[in-house]
Structure 1
Amino acid sequence: MSPLLTHPAGLAGVSELTCGSRHAGVLAAAASGLCTFIDKQGGDPDRILGVSGIDPELLQHPTLSLALPNYCQVLEEAARQSGCDNFGLYYGQQFKPQALGLLGYIGLCSATVEQALINFARAFPLHQRNSLIRLVDEGEHYRFDYQVRHGAILARRQDAELTLGMALNLIRHVLGSHWAPHAVHFEHPRPEHWHEHCKVFDAPVYFDQPCNSLIIPKHGLGRAMPEYNSTLLLVMQDSLRQLSLAGREAPNIVDDTRAQVRQQLLAGEPMLEDIAEQMGLAGWSLQRRLREHGLNFSGVVDKLRCELATHYLGQPQLTISDLAPLLGYSETSAFSRAFRRWFGVSPRQWRSRGGGAR
């Protein structure tokens, strides 16, 4: 199993909208038609954009940048306020490659479907920061992996379902609407209406996985892309590269640490040395850099667990016993003790009192 492409995006922590040509989050092309789609689902676009801190004017310019936390939040808010729990899934189902702007045309202008996937994966980190994208050769299949790795983003289900839908539509653009992946993986817990995911992807869908992934059979990937244009492909690639260079920022050590800790939680208790190694640092160096922000490693882990606990408790399909492994605890009792320390009540009491709704 050898990765063709492994491109963790830039580590910059972004907390506000970016205007002009500076690209520090995700290009606004990723929100093409968003207001219309929110309205179609019965939501109020102005209210949802306002709550999420997004200026509607930016959505009219596909090469301007939205902060990734705001972008993920607007999708979650749209799902909540419209009452459409599968908002990201359905938004992705209708999202055509052309609507993705530079990134979409990089795929469309490639020579074959296989090359389109390779070029799409290579270019994606320039289109969106703080994300993992890779295309892994698994013999008879490719595995297309996607994962947001911004430490400030807790809720990212809608974005994951949207993004895999975008990749699906790039392939179906050539191989037809009936083409289906071998399987689909999502990192978030199984939602209430999960059978809809099986219908949209026409494939088995698995939840609580390490990463969001499409398992793509290689058969048919050699077919030519109808819009292949080598000159236009180079222009699109260069334009996206220039936008990316204009927005490059210094890494944010706190957000980066939180992102790495979140990846490790499913495997159990996060360890300082392991996290530091993933970040290319020694353990003492990571602790020193966190102290510069008035933090320490155990405090970062504890705060992230607390935030994730309240996030997961707001999802009624998850039982209390489901939460401990999601937070890196080996036993539910350990999670319950930590929760009492944070809030003075048990997780069950917190949920029954409406904490999840708040």
Structure 2
Amino acid sequence: MGQVTSLFARKVVGVAGNAVDARAVLDSVGLDVDGPLDPKHMLDDDDYYGMIELMAEQMDITPLPLIVGEAMRTDEYGALGLAWKAAPNLLGSFSRVARYWRLWTSVTQYELMQTSRGMLFVQRREGLRRLGLRISVEATMASAVSLGRQVSPRPFSPIEVCFRHPAPRTIEHHEAYFGCPVFFGADRDAMLLSHQSLSEPNILGDEGITAFLVSHLDQELAQIDDTPALHTQTKGEIARALSEGLPKMGDIARRLGLSARSFHRRLAEHGLSFQTLTEETRREIATAMLQEERYSLSEIAFLTGYSEQSAFNRAFKRWMGVTPATYRKSLG
């Protein structure tokens, strides 16, 4: 079971106003309606999703994640929010999230991916796409856009936004909020950001403050659980095994000195899955090797665990939206 910051729960209930019984809804996850905003107070993710579903019994929650996103403020995220605000540009801000996401959640991973059309900000969250999880995913993406608009000197909108789950009854609220096309039923939860918008200097960017805050965040990151070790060790073992073909979870577990059952449980506790880590590893190795002309496409396919280059080409296009050859050309 993963955890999310109680900040999200309080904001979700707060923006709903009189449409829900705030005291009863917050009580369902053990929060006092009069308590303070504390991003370090964590909730079990299943409880949080259940709270959202309880709210859905009392109101139409279709636009709720967008209202939540709009209400988010950088200062409410503590040192991480300040680091976002003080970053030199939006690329720096989003990079902070990709590095320090574990400070406010253990169920979602964030990643920046270079593509031929711009930079993808990817939100990775495993689990059954129950209503509460879907609303949470949408609210998280809406929050990222809101925080971007608070620090950007120019109007900020993504090029496009994608969600893995089916569309709600109407998407007009989503397209109006994000200011771009919004696609549901996609292969990932992500938004595509232009290089121009990411390179614009932030209004309050300050390198000195950034250096101080990043140092503080690094200390906080070092104090929390062993997710980085498990995450890093697993991907390292997967990378070493790929040249022999697609590794099995049981084999990687044995390399880490764990039973398959214990390995699966520990991954799940941190919101990770073996399949996702394997895909991440293959993609990272492939994109890195494509920057080196000395590796042929067939060699890269072999070293990322594909027996046929055609299968590698299909997988790479699913990851990046372009073929390996096109991606390599775009780097030149």
Q: TM-score when scaled to structure 2? A: 0.63
Q: Distance in 2 between matches of 1:292 and 1:83?
A: 36
* C-alpha distance in 2 between matches for 1:132 and 1:233: 22
Deviations 1:309-335 (A, max 9, x none): xxxxxxxxxxxxxxxxxxxxxxxxxxx
Residue aligning to 1:27? 5
Match of 2:15 among 27, 32, 37: 37
Q: Letter of the aligned partner of 1:186 in structure 2? A: F
State the Cα distance separating 1:287 from its structure 2 match: 4.8
Q: Separation in 1 of the partners of 2:182 and 2:10?
A: 26
- Equivalent residue number for residue 181 of structure 1: 158
For the 8 Å contact 2:69–2:140, the answer to whether it is kept is: yes
| Gap change, CA 1:47 and 1:140, over 3 Å in 2 | same
8 Å CA contact 2:162–2:189 kept in 1: the answer is: yes
Shift of 1:219: 1.5
Change (3 A) 1:233 1:275: farther
Task: Give the deviation of 1:207 after TM superposition.
Answer: 0.7
Alpha-carbon shift at residue 154 of structure 1 (Å)? 7.5
Q: Are residues 1:172 and 2:149 paired? A: yes
**Alpha-carbon offset, residue 248 of structure 1:** 1.2
Looking at structure 2, the residues matched to 239 and 150 of structure 1 have their Cα atoms a distance apart, in angstroms, of: 32
Which AA in structure 2 matches 1:102?
A: A
Give 3-state SS (helix, strand or coil) of 1:221's partner: helix
Q: Which residue of 1 aligns with 2:288?
A: none
| 2:39 match | 62
Output the CA distance in 2 between the equivalents of 1:203 and 1:169.
14
Cα 1:92/1:191, change in 2 over 3 Å: same
Aligned to 2:249: 276
Mapping 1:119-130, distance limit 5 Å: 119-130=96-107
Equivalent of 1:209, from 175, 182, 186?
Answer: 186
1:193 paired to 2:193: no
Q: Cα deviations across residues 191-211 of structure 1 (Å, max 9, x unaligned)?
A: 102221111111111111222
C-alpha contact (below 8 Å) 1:88/1:158 kept by paired residues:
yes
The one-letter code of the counterpart of 2:184 is F
Residue 116 of structure 2 corresponds to residue 143 of structure 1: no
Aligned partner of residue 179 in structure 1, secondary structure: coil
Cα distance in 2 between the residues matched to 1:152 and 1:54: 25
Indicate if the aligned counterparts of 2:162 and 2:190 stay in contact, CA closer than 8 A: yes
Residue 204 (structure 2) pairs with residue 227 (structure 1): yes
Q: How does 1:1-358 map to 2 (within 5 A)?
A: 13-14=1-2, 25-31=3-9, 33-40=11-18, 42-56=19-33, 59-149=36-126, 155-175=132-152, 178-248=155-225, 276=249, 280-281=252-253, 287=260, 289=262
Distance 1:290 1:175, change over 3 A: closer
Pick closer, same or farther for the CA change 1:232–1:280 going to 2, 3 Å.
farther
- 1:312 is aligned to none
Choose between structure 1 and 2: higher helix proportion.
Answer: 2
Deviation at 1:160, TM superposition (A): 0.8
User: Secondary structure of 2:199's partner?
Assistant: coil
1:289: Cα distance to partner?
4.0
Amino acid in the other structure paired with 1:189: P
Q: Distance in 2 between matches of 1:208 and 1:56?
A: 36
**Is contact 2:162-2:184 (8 Å) kept?**
yes
Q: CA RMSD in A?
A: 3.6
Gaps spanning 5+ residues in structure 1: where?
1-12, 15-24, 257-272, 294-358
Unmatched 5+ residue regions in structure 2?
232-245, 267-332
CA 1:76–1:142 in structure 2 vs 1: closer, same or farther (change >3 Å)? Answer: farther
Aligned residue pair count: 250
| Identity score, percent | 18
Residues 148-187 of structure 1: CA deviation (Å, up to 9, x unaligned): 2368977411111111111112322244674321110011
* Offset of residue 63 of structure 1: 2.8
| Aligned-partner residue type, residue 81 of structure 2 | G
Give how far 1:113 is off.
1.8
Letter in 1 for 2:41: L
Structure-2 separation of matches of 1:291 and 1:97: 35
CA contact (8 A) 2:12 2:64 kept: no
Q: Retained in 1: the 8 A contact 2:10–2:26?
A: no
Query: CA deviation digits over 1:199-253, x for unaligned, max 9?
Result: 11111111112221011111132221122233432443344444444441689x9
* Structure 1 residues 177 and 86, CA gap change in structure 2 (3 angstroms): farther
Contact 1:146 1:212 in 2 (8 A): yes
